[in-house]
Chain A
């Protein structure tokens, strides 16, 4: 599906520009996009370096394990194929906590770290495992408790009650997360005969 969307974006964009006589925009857009990709990646360096450092301290202190034990039942439900006490669990937990608190900056490195741990359990290194898909689903549905950025913008434009969207956002985020988990379950059910290996 990623292949399809990627191809569709490029091909339809180029054809549309050609038909409308502004093919010149395509070249500029392509290089612009490439530049953005590199800029964003480099922008991630500082965040990744800092948070991966802090997370390593948390891991060495046994904090991640504690977090994993505390919220174990939720994890076991969402990630049935990740062995108990696996390091991935602590990272998944901290990724989810950072997301819920709206600390987008901190959530990304923890999510990446969780993915790296899940990759160690993955038999086919090219293809996303069900656990990875679940983690991604939870992240894209993004359980948000406090939409900080939006509150700030609303405040900027003199809203009478900038935080009035907290409730509606919470509702929408819960519904979309539930939908993601349900569909994830469905795909797990139909698409895989889970290998019953105990890690």
Chain B
């Protein structure tokens, strides 16, 4: 099982990289010219994201290093423990939508401390694997096209993070409990 999965993930991109140009040249597409034509948008797009990403990262950085985030996490933790959720995984619910690197580091720390096959390790792995950094995705996608009013997108994103977190905890307690 594991070897199949690792094989798929290491082959996926090479296969795509060979298949697309081969098929295209069979269709008489000038492949190199097409590549360069498409690629020239890449730089502009990345640059267009800068103001959005800097704005968001500054706010997140202040929020985290001031201690405010940890304070909030400590505040809600007893509530979750009342529900039987291991308090150790709780920070993930708040960290995950805000910072991808931060939540990955936190998950790694939990796995190191409690072991990958502990309940906490399994829940953390499942949460980390099944949700995404909503604020980052929103900033990058909307930043690239200059959208400033996000509409209802953020609410939907955060709500699905919360549902994903709850589903991860419940399914792990059920399957591994």
On A, residues with C-beta under 8 Å from B are: 1-2, 5-6, 9-10, 12-14, 16-17, 20, 22, 25-26, 28-30, 32-34, 36-38, 40-42, 44-45, 48-63, 101-103, 106, 108-109, 111-112, 115-116, 119, 125-130, 132-133, 135-137, 139-142, 144, 146-151, 153-154, 157-173, 175-177, 179-180, 183-184, 187, 191
Contact = CB atoms under 8 A, between A and B. Distances in A.
Contact of A112 (B12, B36, B144): B144
B47 A102 contact: no
Interface residues of B, number: 101
A9, A29, A184, most chain B CB atoms within 10 A: A9
A191 B133 CA distance: 25
Interface of B: 1-2, 5-6, 8-9, 12-13, 16-17, 20-21, 23-24, 27, 29, 31, 34-43, 45-47, 49-50, 53-68, 71, 97, 104, 107-108, 111-112, 115-117, 121-122, 125-135, 137-138, 140-142, 144-157, 159-161, 163-164, 167-168, 171-172, 175-176
8 contacts: A20-B66, A29-B65, A32-B65, A33-B60, A49-B42, A56-B37, A136-B138, A140-B157
The 4 closest A-B pairs by CB, nearest first: A56-B38, A33-B61, A147-B129, A176-B164
B66 A17 contact: yes
Given A10-B63, A148-B9, A168-B172, A191 B134 contact: no
